[in-house]
Chains A and B, each alone.
Chain A
């Protein structure tokens, strides 16, 4: 049994014990009189503050995990350490009566806020509405894009309400969408679909004190300094299929030095024994952790769910020719790219756009190119395309990212007579540059992390030609337009059967790969080292491999 499976087993045991009414679930460890119990304080060491904890504004994956696991529940959520969805506030995964354009959810009984008042459907409607107010900006925009009238709606603060979200009674909420959305049960895992009572809405300042419907409430929050969570006594574990809420208290200490955090967790003395890092270990930290067997034992690594790519600007010649794109793809030594990323501990090689979390752990490989590349095939494809070498191409690289990856690509393409000039662009304007049809170079390094593990959150943003604009493109930075692909996307949106939908997205992935508007390079992984008295640690595949705070706890010696 691997370490992580073992810990998952502990979590399952704990869950079973808790559901059975037992307050204490023993997890004996050979040679030690210690037990896993509810209680203790889990310390989280963070470099900086959360971007946002307001559920209407929270749109970074680890912070979404933190918020939805601890402070506010959503209609649907993910199982511990899994990309499988389960009902959370709702009784089921939602029902749709008109081919996926209208979705209805019913709230469970016994759902309460931290003050003991009941959670009502109108509170979820309020949060969905406030997420569209310009004052409360920065959050996921799925509600705005999907709901009828969402694009024009400016939030509830002027007394205006969005008719396409209905709360006919305290238990029922209905969403009317612009298009069929078979993926909507995944969409409502986002914090936009958690409850915020209108009476507790402090608008911009709600970010400093979200009102809890989860297992913990905020005892103190000094932004950039610390966040202290204590138990929400009104949270009922009987209504919650996922969260164990093991520690009595969670203390997030912000403003710590990144390297010092790793050193402290390796030493794991005093309070650090019950601590976890907020940020993942970079290559430098891994070089300290991996040679240390005790520290390595406490390193939890998982895939982020993101796919990193090399983008071809299809507006530029000769990249408008699929054979040239395929030649470049064939020439890339992905093992070298992987090494540039920090080796197999930091990245896996990608051969498709959709990450394995969306394809039941399997990977597609349309072109079957060896990981080290196929130079002969690449040269033949270039010749077939009638491209004379040497060919000069520019590759935009962000000054804030890993330039060894760009250098690795440069070296690979040199072998087939393509001279790549790396064009470093400041990180603050990188995405503006590559998303601007007038400024983008021939090549750029890019990556996409879905908001939930469903093809709709991955392939349409990257390849729906209808989204391409002159400037400000995000996702479709290859400026790829194919009406046949767009039509196929619309067809898959309407599939409400999860298995059929998954297969359809996977097939579309292969179909787009044939045209290769972007070349998949690697699947980033992240590792987190925990203190020696932390139990139940497991990476979550949906939230950028962050440790799952639904099941994590601390060991108490007896």
Chain B
């Protein structure tokens, strides 16, 4: 298993290098010029050349790429401005006058809080309702759950957020508008500030997980080994939880890993609607202001989370299903 994990980690490093190269190349080919943006409104050719030189953007693209990669491990000095960017240096945001790594770390807490809370909510709600629907297939309860899931899946996330804001905050005045507080500063305020964003995200994902769990559970419960378990006189709870759910969880865990990995890099719409200063909002603003180092940093971070989440999920298969062997 260790050899397998190491091999996968090496593959992840290669994937990240390729993504980095592709993203870097795309930004280089884009018409947006960070030096021109920084130069100002009535920029002259001479001034632009000076600004480009000061930002280190007058170097060949390959040299810039090598410098970028070197900076991740050894840090670097940016352009001629004498700015030091300590390792791990994922570039420098001229927009925020800050190393990208500092920005990512600063925003990661918000996005991780949002993703983790929402994930717990949607996993619990999705799996429980999915199992209930599967075990009462064709009943009124099943139809109700499936219909609700279908309706929620069809609703765009901004609609769910807008409805919650309107009815819970603006009209109902049941909660103040979210004002994010770090969990260690004030856990109650942290939870209160994230409650509606959690519900928004969880509503979207739970609907998918209900349908996924239901389908998988129905298929599993029709397997011969379930019939055998029942024939052996095992209590129904044991049959469902120990034999049925365990097998059902494999595909759910796969999709959960990908979903959570992606969400850790930010939920752009939810963060924007609720004014949460997470990675999604950072990306949204960075795209709007052509802050390419930030976009590149978030892209790499997202790729890292998704690939790592997949690795963790693959390793967990063995825990869930002892038949799985790592080769």
Contacts and interface: CB of A to CB of B under 8 A. Distances in A.
Interface of A: 48-49, 51, 57, 59, 133-135, 137-141, 154, 203-205, 207-208, 222-226, 253-257, 259-260, 263-264, 267, 269-272, 426, 428-429, 432, 461, 472, 474-475
A137 B39 contact: yes
A235 to B, nearest CB: 25
Given A48-B289, A135-B79, A472-B45, 4 more contacts: A141-B47, A222-B277, A270-B173, A472-B44
B148 interface: no
28 contacts: A48-B288, A49-B95, A49-B285, A51-B289, A135-B81, A137-B38, A137-B47, A141-B41, A154-B50, A203-B82, A204-B81, A207-B97, A223-B103, A224-B277, A225-B106, A254-B277, A255-B276, A255-B277, A256-B275, A260-B273, A260-B275, A263-B165, A264-B177, A426-B31, A472-B44, A472-B45, A474-B41, A474-B42
B243 interface: no
Nearest to B98: A223
B176 to A, nearest CB: 6
B273 A225 contact: no
Contacts of A154: 50
B299 interface: no
Given A253-B275, A255-B272, A269-B170, A134 B177 contact: no
Contacts of B32: 428
A221 to B, nearest CB: 10
B8 interface: no
A257 B31 contact: no
Interface residues of B, number: 51
The residue in B37, B171, B285 that gathers the most chain A C-beta atoms within 10 A of its C-beta is: B285
Given A223-B96, A224-B96, A257 B273 contact: yes
A204 B277 CA distance: 23
Nearest to A253: B275
B277 A138 contact: no
Contacts of B47: 134, 137, 141
Nearest to A53: B97
A208 B38 contact: no
Given A137-B51, A223-B97, A263 B281 contact: no
Contacts of B276: 255
Given A208-B98, A269-B173, A134 B53 contact: yes
Contacts of A139: 40
B281 A255 contact: yes
A134 B106 CA distance: 29
Contact of B97 (A208, A225, A472): A208
B225 interface: no
Contacts, number: 115
Interface string B159-174: 0001001100111010
Nearest to A471: B45
Contact of A134 (B54, B162, B165): B54
Contacts of A260: 162, 165, 177, 273, 275
B277 A225 contact: yes
Contacts of B281: 224, 255
Contact of A138 (B40, B98, B271): B40
Nearest to A472: B45
Contacts of A271: 176-177
Contact of B50 (A57, A134, A257, A474): A134
Most A CB within 10 A of own CB, among B41, B43, B44, B166? B41
A472 B48 CA distance: 11
Given A59-B41, A269-B173, A205 B54 contact: no
Nearest to A141: B42
Contact of B83 (A204, A223, A225, A256): A204
Contact of B96 (A49, A226, A267): A49
B203 interface: no
Contacts of B97: 204-205, 207-208, 223
B170 A263 contact: yes
Interface string B255-277: 00000000000000001111111
B282 interface: yes
Nearest to B30: A428
B153 interface: no
B67 interface: no
Contacts of A272: 177
B254 interface: no
B54 A135 contact: yes
B70 interface: no
B205 to A, nearest CB: 21
Nearest to A474: B42
B290 interface: yes
Given A138-B40, A256-B275, A428 B31 contact: yes
Contacts of A255: 271-272, 275-277, 281, 285
B268 to A, nearest CB: 11
Nearest to B53: A134
A395 B290 CA distance: 26
Contacts of A133: 54
A154 to B, nearest CB: 7
Contacts of B96: 49, 208, 223-224
A141 B48 CA distance: 13
Nearest to B288: A48
Contacts of B39: 137-138
B54 A137 contact: yes
A429 B31 contact: yes
Nearest to B82: A203
Contacts of A49: 95-96, 285
B170 A264 contact: yes
Most buried by B among A137, A138, A208, A426: A137
Interface in B167-204: 169-171, 173, 176-177, 179
B176 A48 contact: no
Contact of A263 (B82, B95, B166): B166
Given A204-B81, A260-B273, A137 B31 contact: no
A134 B51 contact: yes
A152 to B, nearest CB: 9
Interface string B214-256: 0000000000000000000000000000000000000000000
